[in-house]
Amino acid sequence: MSNNTLKEEILKLKEELDVTIVAHFYQKDEVFNIADFTGDSLELAKFAASDSKPNLIFCGVGFMGQSVKILDPNKKVLMPRIACCAMAKMIDEDYYNQNVENLEKSGIKKEDIMPVTYINSSAEVKAAVGKMGGYVCTSSNAKLIITKALKSGKKILFVPDRCLGQNIAIDMGLKSCVVGDGSDPKDADIICYNGFCSVHQLFEVEDIEFYKEKYPDILVVTHPECKPEVCEKSDFVGSTSQIIKYIKELSIEQKVVVGTEYNMVNRLREKNTYVLSSTKPECPTMNETRLEDVRDTLLSIKDGSYINEITISEDTRKYAFEALNRMFEL
């Protein structure tokens, strides 16, 4: 079936079934283009949780659909693919608890730890953080949340993305360490778990040097999941939405090279845009979702089988909500 026929079928089913479809910027174009709303992680969570329709199809990765379910347990949240963010999979509740125990062994009391989890984490990790009075943050508000968390006078345990934690520490003039790097966590303000995004690890300082040599006036724009040395050499670092806004405001002649996922950068081609890598930086799990999957999800709403519906136990949801809500309160 052609994409156009599928698209027509999807739009018809969407109207008939009273469903909202949202998509992250990293989704394939054909999926991105049928969404009612697109945004970065924070915008998607906010929009989807306040949307009045009872059914939501989330084209993104697992933690994104879970965030909506945590915020609005009465909504049916379905994902065309249960695609898991590889970084979010790097930590589970047991690993999280082990890390807290290890910090205790190294002389930092549990009550002196303030955990902050990047939204790219499972509901269980968010709940463990919520139980300790901690926060969720996204790439667009990490600095604000860490500033607030530090007011507790405690050390920050930042999970799972070491790069985002390190980048915020550099930006705020704070000391950071990465679990297992051999340094004493007692010396750090922000203790980062050793997780990372394999897509954003692709971007190197050499790539920046290559483009700067070729086009001396080019601007370098990166996502804070990139390595600290890459972000330090960037002209702008921001969430996916912040990057889009920054680039849209540039003059058409201004060359810009971008270090984030390929589908999103490719959509910015009407500007003088380059990809900061010689390989195609695609997020494999974001790319799993196809129009066929969206159609099948709609059909499952119609026949009541509700494929790939997100479910979270109430005990987990309640604590994960606390951590997410502390972010929204700010």
Contact (Cβ atoms closer than 8 angstroms) between residue 230 and residue 216: no
Residue 61 contacts by C-beta under 8 Å, 6 or more apart in sequence?
24, 83, 84, 85, 88, 283, 285, 286
Per-residue tokens: 293:
């999957």
Is residue 161 at the binding interface for ligand 13P, with CB under 6 A as the rule? no
Q: Which of 67, 141, 240, 297 binds ligand 13P (CB under 6 A)?
A: 240
DSSP 103-165: HHHTT--GGGEEEEEESSS-HHHHHHHHHTT-EEE-TTTHHHHHHHHHTTTSEEEEESBHHHH
Is residue 288 at the binding interface for ligand 13P, with CB under 6 A as the rule? no
Is residue 139 at the binding interface for ligand 13P, with CB under 6 A as the rule? yes
| Binding residues for ligand SF4 restricted to 287-306, rule: CB under 6 A | none
DSSP H/E element including 205: helix 205-214
Residue 77 binds which entry of ligand SF4, ligand 13P, none, CB below 5-8 Å type-dependent = none
Is residue 261 at the binding interface for ligand SF4, with CB under 6 A as the rule? yes
Partnered with residue 38 across adjacent β-strands are: 23
CB of 223 to ligand 13P, least distance (A): 6
Is residue 91 at the binding interface for ligand SF4, with CB under 6 A as the rule? no
CB of 12 to ligand SF4, least distance (A): 30
Four-point Cα dihedral 161, 269, 288, 296, nearest 10: 130
Residue 86 binds which entry of ligand 13P, ligand SF4, none, CB below 5-8 Å type-dependent = ligand SF4
- The CA distance from 50 to 39, in Å, is 14
Of 72 and 261, nearer to ligand SF4 (C-beta) is 261
| Binding residues for ligand SF4 restricted to 110-149, rule: CB under 6 A | 120
Is residue 225 at the binding interface for ligand 13P, with CB under 6 A as the rule? yes
Locus of tokens 């136990």 = 313
Interface ranges with ligand SF4 (CB under 6 A): 61, 85-87, 120, 197, 199, 225, 261, 283, 285-286
